[in-house]
Chains A and B, each alone.
Chain A
Amino acid sequence: GAGVSQSPRYKVTKRGQDVALRCDPISGHVSLYWYRQALGQGPEFLTYFNYEAQQDKSGLPNDRFSAERPEGSISTLTIQRTEQRDSAMYRCASSSTGYEQYFGPGTRLTVT
């Protein structure tokens, strides 16, 4: 595709439900990153992959958050038993070099 895509763009869920956020990176990009962004702040690192291997998950807030990229392309960020504090914009980015990142449009998650 022409750019990084994310789905859904908006997600409203009730507290306690599980959600899965999808990221489709630019074709051929080796690296894929997940960020969370609060209003008025820069992206906060969650985790990243090279190919299918999760290289660093130090930014995942707790064990309710997990991510996978089983075939080295599409990635899913899963949040289990959502809480209101999980409400944020979740952004995905991909990179061919590991440096310059191309960002997707984000998924706005609202937990009610």
Chain B
Amino acid sequence: ILNVEQSPQSLHVQEGDSTNFTCSFPSSNFYALHWYRWETAKSPEALFVMTLNGDEKKKGRISATLNTKEGYSYLYIKGSQPEDSATYLCAFIGTNAGKSTFGDGTTLTVKP
């Protein structure tokens, strides 16, 4: 059984704060890691696809890093805004390149 762990489970920050959270995954048989943003009552939307150790991806105020050797990825949000409030999911894809194993997400609430 693959364990994909996300921490913290939830996070409350003030508008303008920068924040980060973690996705831990198996360090063996790594193929790719995805980050998704999921708003309540909507479907998860892809943020980043990360494949190489040391990868750093950025989209606006959101960025992510990847360490496949130690099995973790960080997601950073700079200057959080209320519209960033959502659950952020990571998904590990192993070398069979098919099945995705999701974490349970970090739920971010940004207070104005």
Q: How many residues of B contact A (CB 8 A)?
A: 23
Q: Which residues of B contact A102 (CB under 8 A)?
A: 46
Q: Which of A48, A59, A100 has the most CB of B within 10 A?
A: A100
A99-B99 in contact given A41-B104, A42-B89, A104-B43 (Cβ < 8 Å): no
Q: Does A58 contact B (CB under 8 A)?
A: yes
Interface residues of A in 63-109 (CB under 8 A from B): 91, 98-106
Q: Are B102 and A42 in contact (CB under 8 A)?
A: yes
Contact between A100 and B98 (Cβ–Cβ < 8 Å)? no
Does any Cβ of B come within 8 Å of A56's Cβ?
Answer: yes
How many interface residues does A have (CB within 8 Å)? 26
> What is the bound-complex CA distance between A91 and B45, given in angstroms?
13
Q: Which residues in window 69-108 of B have CB below 8 A to A? A: 89, 91, 93, 96-105
Cβ contact within 8 Å between A103 and B98 = no
Provide the residues of chain B in CB contact with A31, threshold 8 Å: 98
A selection of 11 A-B contacts at a CB cut-off of 8 Å is A4-B43, A41-B105, A42-B4, A43-B89, A43-B91, A43-B102, A45-B100, A45-B102, A91-B43, A100-B49, A105-B42
Chain B interface residues toward A at CB < 8 A? 4, 6, 32, 34, 42-46, 49, 89, 91, 93, 96-105
